[in-house]
Chains A and B, each alone.
Chain A
Amino acid sequence: MIGPLVTHLRAMRANRLLPQQDQREIALHYVIGVLCFLACMAALVVMASDRAAHGWSRDIRAEVTVQVRPTGLESGSVAAAKAAEVLAGVKGVGQVTALEPEKAKELIKPWLGDAIIDDLPIPNLVEVTLDPRHPATPKAMMEALENAEIDASLDDHSTWLKDIEQSAMIMRLIALSIFLIIFSATAAVIGFATRAGLTARANIVEVLSLCGASDIFIAERFQWRFARMTFESGLLGATIASGAMAIIKTTGSSQSFAIALPFSWLDLLILIPCPFLVALIGAITARMVTLRLLANNV
């Protein structure tokens, strides 16, 4: 008699203890989705700018400028040509060009003007492009020059490198702070929503409590609900962020934006943990807020 009656009963699922969806939750979905989108975009921009900084520093690292000081009666350009020849023989050196005095003058002109340029001693420069895979060390190049008895000094652009690396670091720090700000905002929003949810369902929470539910049991209901909700919103935000990145990458290849921010498809992998991270924040916040509010009850 009882058998057929109960066959259609299904086990009560824990997440059904709190009633589903209301208007407030749609707004919450939206806000969390937007926050997650912003966090994802920040992550992508960091990846791209990091790559750009790497690219620049690689280019700079691949170039060395040598200043040759002519000895005795040698003219500057002859000394430079000689130095270029020596340097071309060093292992790990690619292209070597002695910078012609005329070209050097052109480079200085914008700063000093025409007037004094004839009297100015123009440095004799040699531009060295290094083999990017096995670059010659500054030490090896200096030794080669000394062996050939050429008086020269070598600038490996390390000052510039430091600057670029520093700005890359600042970029990372800014991105990290953006992350922290967005995640704390997420936590604040979830905290607010949990509070509202708890107030709106005070009646249900009280019944559960009167039925002997522990605070942790009740907190877990809110925890899972918000974990799920924030995960969905996070997934949405991450998806939209990858869409935005795809649009920039595919349509903007000829424009400066895409050059400044060289996105890579592999960057999208960094978005995978995003929904999980947001869900974790949502779960922890909801749990803590619920426990604290319940503890303040009678």
Chain B
Amino acid sequence: MSPQTSRTSGQTRATADEEIVVSFHDVSLGYDLGMPKALSLGVNDDDLILKNLNFQLPAGSFHFLTGPSGAGKTSLLKMIYLAQKPTIGTIELFGETVRTGDRTQTAQLRRRFGIVFQEFRLLEHLNVFDNAALPLFVHGESFKSYRDDVTELLNWVGLKNRLDAMPHVLSGGEKQRLAIARAVVTRPTLILADEPTGNIDYAMGLRIMRLFIELNRLGATVLIATHDEGLVRASGMPVLELANGELHRRDLTKTDLTRNAK
């Protein structure tokens, strides 16, 4: 299946449901454990931050990832966006088994992600427009081809008057929205967000959640790590909960998950 099919909505949506975007097989993560040591000596359960995770995110699904601070939400996201390799287990993305150390595969897979980092990770020496356009630029697209799209997107997230501003003059909420704009500018198949409402007030948080839900409606698979229970409840989307290194599904509405479970 081509990557475009899951992006376009409508008739292809039905087939997209059968496509698995993220798939974890017996994935465990422990720090300070070299791969060989972990394999040869066996891994002590107490050393593991994440234990034996098995889950799948179908194309077009929307999930929250919750759990107390330090439960490993960021580590789990990092494994998905290939910044952290699992100690044990295999990960499949878009049907491809992730090969650790294959930098070309990593770059190619990442081009289908949009990532919103907890600490934004904006480039301080580039203005708002260039920060938002960064992924397109990195993928080798021309300024002419993306100028209007990026401007429109920044307009949509309410930064149309700040195109020339440098990140250090932006407020927390503006940085957050810029980070989101950069994450979605390539119309990614998979959107990962780490505490995207952590630095903003409730009203802005709701607005941003609506933005993610809108992107999900347009076909993107979304996984949002948050400890903001209020927002999770308000949105009524299914939840993956991390506790003691284990992952549990929690149905709030039953709608989405039961459909995905089929």
A interface, CB within 8 angstroms of B: 2, 5-6, 8-9, 11-12, 16-17, 19-20, 203-204, 206-215, 217, 294-295, 297-298
Q: In the complex the two chains form, what is the Cα distance from A199 to B219 in whole Å?
A: 38
- Interface size class on chain B is 35 or more
Give chain B nearest CB distance to A21 CB in angstroms: 11
Q: By the criterion CB–CB under 8 Å, are A212 and B135 in contact?
A: yes
Q: By the criterion CB–CB under 8 Å, are B126 and A2 in contact?
A: no
* A212 touches which of B126, B139, B155 (Cβ 8 Å): B139
Q: By the criterion CB–CB under 8 Å, are B111 and A5 in contact?
A: no
Give chain B nearest CB distance to A167 CB in angstroms: 53
Give chain B nearest CB distance to A5 CB in angstroms: 6
Q: By the criterion CB–CB under 8 Å, are B130 and A5 in contact?
A: no
Query: Which A residues lie within 8 Å of B123 (CB)?
Result: 17, 204, 207
Report the nearest B residue to A11, measured CB to CB.
B143
Known: A9-B129, A203-B121. Is A210-B85 also a contact (CB below 8 A)? no
Report the nearest B residue to A203, measured CB to CB.
B121
Query: Which B residues lie within 8 Å of A215 (CB)?
Result: 103-104, 107
Query: Which A residues lie within 8 Å of B140 (CB)?
Result: 217
Known: A212-B111, A214-B107. Is A6-B137 also a contact (CB below 8 A)? no
Q: In the complex the two chains form, what is the Cα distance from A210 to B110 in whole Å?
A: 6
A-B contact pairs, 25 of them (CB 8 A): A2-B152, A6-B148, A6-B151, A6-B163, A9-B151, A11-B142, A11-B144, A12-B126, A16-B126, A17-B123, A17-B137, A204-B123, A206-B121, A207-B123, A207-B134, A208-B138, A209-B106, A210-B81, A210-B110, A211-B110, A212-B111, A212-B135, A212-B139, A213-B138, A217-B138
Q: By the criterion CB–CB under 8 Å, are A213 and B107 in contact?
A: yes
Q: By the criterion CB–CB under 8 Å, are A2 and B151 in contact?
A: yes
Q: By the criterion CB–CB under 8 Å, are B110 and A9 in contact?
A: no
CB-CB contacts of B122-135 with A at 8 A, as 1s and 0s?
Answer: 01111001100111
Give chain B nearest CB distance to A64 CB in angstroms: 71
Q: In the complex the two chains form, what is the Cα distance from A17 to B137 in whole Å?
A: 10
Q: Does B83 contact A (CB under 8 A)?
A: yes
* 15 further interface pairs, Cβ-Cβ under 8 Å (given A212-B113, A212-B135, A298-B83): A2-B152, A5-B160, A11-B143, A11-B144, A12-B126, A17-B126, A206-B83, A207-B123, A211-B182, A212-B108, A215-B104, A217-B140, A294-B103, A298-B85, A298-B100
Q: In the complex the two chains form, what is the Cα distance from A19 to B151 in whole Å?
A: 23
Q: By the criterion CB–CB under 8 Å, are A298 and B84 in contact?
A: yes
CB-CB contacts of B173-198 with A at 8 A, as 1s and 0s?
Answer: 00000000010001000000000000
Q: By the criterion CB–CB under 8 Å, are B125 and A9 in contact?
A: no
Query: Which B residues lie within 8 Å of A217 (CB)?
Result: 138, 140
* B107 touches which of A5, A20, A203, A209 (Cβ 8 Å): A209
Q: By the criterion CB–CB under 8 Å, are A2 and B134 in contact?
A: no
Query: Which B residues lie within 8 Å of A8 (CB)?
Result: 164
Q: By the criterion CB–CB under 8 Å, are A12 and B137 in contact?
A: yes
Query: Which B residues lie within 8 Å of A203 (CB)?
Result: 121
Query: Which A residues lie within 8 Å of B152 (CB)?
Result: 2
Give chain A nearest CB distance to B165 CB in angstroms: 12
Q: By the criterion CB–CB under 8 Å, are A210 and B148 in contact?
A: no
Q: By the criterion CB–CB under 8 Å, are B138 and A211 in contact?
A: yes
Query: Which A residues lie within 8 Å of B208 (CB)?
Result: none
Q: By the criterion CB–CB under 8 Å, are A212 and B151 in contact?
A: no
Q: In the complex the two chains form, what is the Cα distance from A28 to B106 in whole Å?
A: 33
Q: Does B147 contact A (CB under 8 A)?
A: yes
Query: Which A residues lie within 8 Å of B130 (CB)?
Result: 12, 16
Q: By the criterion CB–CB under 8 Å, are B143 and A12 in contact?
A: yes
* B103 touches which of A204, A207, A295 (Cβ 8 Å): A295
Q: By the criterion CB–CB under 8 Å, are A211 and B129 in contact?
A: no
Q: In the complex the two chains form, what is the Cα distance from A11 to B163 in whole Å?
A: 13
Query: Which A residues lie within 8 Å of B133 (CB)?
Result: 12
Report the nearest A residue to B160, measured CB to CB.
A5
Query: Which B residues lie within 8 Å of A214 (CB)?
Result: 103-104, 107
Q: In the complex the two chains form, what is the Cα distance from A9 to B152 in whole Å?
A: 13
Query: Which B residues lie within 8 Å of A213 (CB)?
Result: 107, 138
Interfacial residues of chain B within 219-257, with CB under 8 A of chain A in the complex: none
Query: Which A residues lie within 8 Å of B186 (CB)?
Result: 212
Q: In the complex the two chains form, what is the Cα distance from A295 to B125 in whole Å?
A: 26
Q: By the criterion CB–CB under 8 Å, are A5 and B151 in contact?
A: yes
Query: Which A residues lie within 8 Å of B139 (CB)?
Result: 212
Q: Does B115 contact A (CB under 8 A)?
A: yes
